[in-house]
Structures are given as C-alpha cells and as structure tokens.
Amino acid sequence: MTSKRMKNDPNRWYCSFRYVNLDGETKQKKKEGFSTKKEADEFERNFLNNIKFNPEMNFKSLYKMYLEDMKPRIKEHTLTNKEYITENKILPYFKDMKISEIGSIEIQRWQNSLLSALNHSTNKPYAPTYLKTINNQLTAIFNYAVKFHNLQNNPVHKVGTIGEKHAPEKEIWSLKEFNTFINLVEDKTLHLGFNILYWSGCRIGELLALTWSDIDFKNNMININKSYQRINGKDVITEPKTKKSIRKITIISSVIEEIEAYKKLFYKPDPDDRIFNCTKHKFEHGITNICKRNNLNKIRIHDLRHSHASLLLNEGINIVALSKRLGHEKVSTTLNIYSHMIPNDDKILNVMENLSVTKS
C-alpha cells in the first residue's frame, strides 16, 4: 500500500497509486483526508478490487495488467524479451480487440500471419523455435487471465501451438574445424574469447561477465557466477540462468596461459574489472566475417557450446558430468539437447566386442 501522512496535516493520511483502466491506459489516483492509515489502505484496496478483469476490456489493457504483475517476479532481461515479443509480434494484431472477441478463429489467423511473415533482417521465414516462443508468450498472457482474473478458458489452448521447442540438429565444429578457425583469428580479444567458449562450454553471457577474480590460475579453473546482458543501452550484470549455472569449470593449460598473457596487456587491472569489455555483437560480427572471408562453415556463437559438448561426448564423458559442466538445471535438459550425440547401438556393440576380445 502507498498511504502516507499529509504534509500540511500530519494527523491526516492520503493514498496515491497507479492503475490500468479498461482501455489499457495507466492512470494515477490520489485521495486525501483519511483519519487513519488503515482507512487509506482500505480505500486503495477497494478501489483496485472494483477495477476487475472484464471480458469487454481490450487486449492491451490485459497485457498491461500482466506486465505490472510480472515486473517484480522475473529478471530484467527476461522482462525486456517479453515486452519486445509482445509489443512487436502480438499487440499490433490484438491490442484493440476486446477479450471476448478473441477466440479460436482470431488466434489461428494471427498464427497464420506469423507463419507467412518474413524476418526483416534475413528476409526468410521465422525460425520454428522463435515462432514457438512468440506463441508461448500469448499463451502466458491468457494463462494469467485464467489464473488470476477468472477468464473461463485460454483460447490459445484450443488452437494448439506453432513452431518447435527445439531447433533442428545443432551445427557444430569438430576440433579440426575449430583449430582452422582459431588460427585465422588475429584480434586478441576475440581469440581468447573464442578459445574460452570452445574449451569451457560456457554461455556467451557468462563469458562476458567474467572478471579477473573469476580466474583461478593456479588450478586451471574458471568460476561462473554471473551473466552479462546489454539491456536498453545499459550494461547489466545478473545472476546466471539457473542455480546450477553457478559452477567451476576446469580448462586446459594453454587457455589459462593465454588469459595470463592477455591480462598483461592492461595496466594494473582491478580484480572486479570485466575481462571482456564488449558485447556479444563483437563476437557475432567476428565469427561471421572470419568465416565468410575464409569460406568456412559458419556456426552461431552458441554453437561453440554445442561443439564443446560434442567433443566431450565423443571422448566418452558421461552425460551427468557434462550436465554439471554446462550448468544445466536438470540432466534431462542435457539429454533432450544432446541425445542425438550419444553413441548409437553400433558404437556400443563395437565397445562391447572390443572388451570381450580383451577379456578372452
């Protein structure tokens, strides 16, 4: 509650608060002259209770209610992503429609418009995983209305989803392909960053958040305990993706030595200084240009993480150890992503045959 004592009359109380009306507009309400704080709080509570969800309200109004409820519950970068997707892919279609007008037919028309649309940056259809993300966001908004505002059902559920949860099989580099690439990287920052990404399997946000104090030179270890994002033009350091993402990763000596050499390029760096004072755009731009100039098979930055996982699985590292190293919350997550890389029956049979020969 936002009730306070009045400045010109300390024996009286007032309340001041914001609310969203049925047209989706944010309004300010102020009421003065209450004898007690309890009375002021009760007025605010009753006022807000009277502005309940109404199926005749427009979608934009529901979205604003949803957003206000989500703000204190989720991370800033997650909120930013939700806002971007809703305001660019959902609101343009639904914003002025009444909730009562949004049924299966309208949902299906919206989905069809996405399926036929082109990504402006690539001039190609949206990726199946992105379509799934957009559809999930609309589902989340209506789930909110069902759970907290007594909407009878979620119209998206009746129609079903579009897109795919996981992308097609990951593009990866073998060790030979990575070595070909890294030998062409002349920029010292990019060279070190790509090496850490490939040999540790960390996420790009985890790499960019690394500080000098996170490097254990003595034990060849990197401490992953935070993540970096560029949000609305600001550098933002957040907690890692999940609790299991806080971890220590061993890394090969040659990369530790490269980190030491890179550190010497700076004059007395502070332990809390970020090692990579840049954004992921530098790495995305770098990998694209180098691959294009040298006619290499281009992969995404995140695919270096997949390449690391593939390297370890091919060397017989078990899935539980890999899951821990990658910072997945559950081993099932690792299995869902990398099950196609686990040795097949033929490979298992070969191993067993070799063991039987050794035994005899």
On whether residue 109 sits in a domain, the answer given is yes
Q: State whether 238 and 320 are in the same domain.
A: yes
Q: State whether 222 and 304 are in the same domain.
A: yes
Q: State whether 142 and 284 are in the same domain.
A: no
Under a CB-based contact definition with an 8 Å cutoff, are residues 64 and 23 in contact? no
Q: State whether 65 and 125 are in the same domain.
A: yes
pTM listed for this prediction: 0.69
On whether residue 358 sits in a domain, the answer given is no
* d(C-alpha 53, C-alpha 100), whole Å: 11
Under a CB-based contact definition with an 8 Å cutoff, are residues 209 and 226 in contact? yes
Q: What is the pLDDT of residue 52?
A: 61
Q: State whether 70 and 151 are in the same domain.
A: yes
On whether residue 169 sits in a domain, the answer given is no
On whether residue 21 sits in a domain, the answer given is yes
pLDDT digits (tens, 9 = 90+) for 138-162: 999 999 888 877 788 999 998 988 8
pLDDT digits (tens, 9 = 90+) for 38-56: 998 888 877 776 666 677 8
Q: What is the pLDDT of residue 360?
A: 46
Under a CB-based contact definition with an 8 Å cutoff, are residues 217 and 256 in contact? yes
If one counts the domains in the chain, the total is 3
Q: Which stretches of the chain are assigned E, i.e. beta strand? A: 4-5, 13-20, 26-34, 118-119, 124-125, 215-216, 221-224, 227-231, 234-238, 247-250
* d(C-alpha 77, C-alpha 236), whole Å: 9
pLDDT digits (tens, 9 = 90+) for 346-359: 555 565 566 655 54
Per residue of the chain (360 residues), give pLDDT as tens.
Answer: 577 888 888 889 998 888 777 666 778 888 888 999 999 888 887 777 666 667 788 899 899 889 988 888 888 888 888 999 999 999 999 988 999 899 999 999 999 999 999 888 778 898 888 899 999 999 999 998 888 777 889 999 989 888 876 655 668 999 999 999 999 999 999 999 999 999 999 999 999 999 999 999 999 999 999 999 887 778 888 888 788 899 999 999 999 999 999 999 999 999 999 999 999 999 999 999 999 999 999 999 999 999 999 999 988 888 999 999 999 988 888 888 887 776 555 555 565 566 655 544
Quote the domain boundaries for residue 286. 176-341
Here the CATH number for the domain that contains residue 138 is: 1.10.150.130
Q: State whether 240 and 113 are in the same domain.
A: no
Helix (H, G, I), strand (E, B) or coil at 229: strand
On whether residue 287 sits in a domain, the answer given is yes
Q: Given 132, 159, 186, which residue is the final one in a domain?
A: 159
Q: State whether 153 and 184 are in the same domain.
A: no
On whether residue 123 sits in a domain, the answer given is yes
On whether residue 346 sits in a domain, the answer given is no
Q: State whether 137 and 259 are in the same domain.
A: no
On whether residue 45 sits in a domain, the answer given is yes
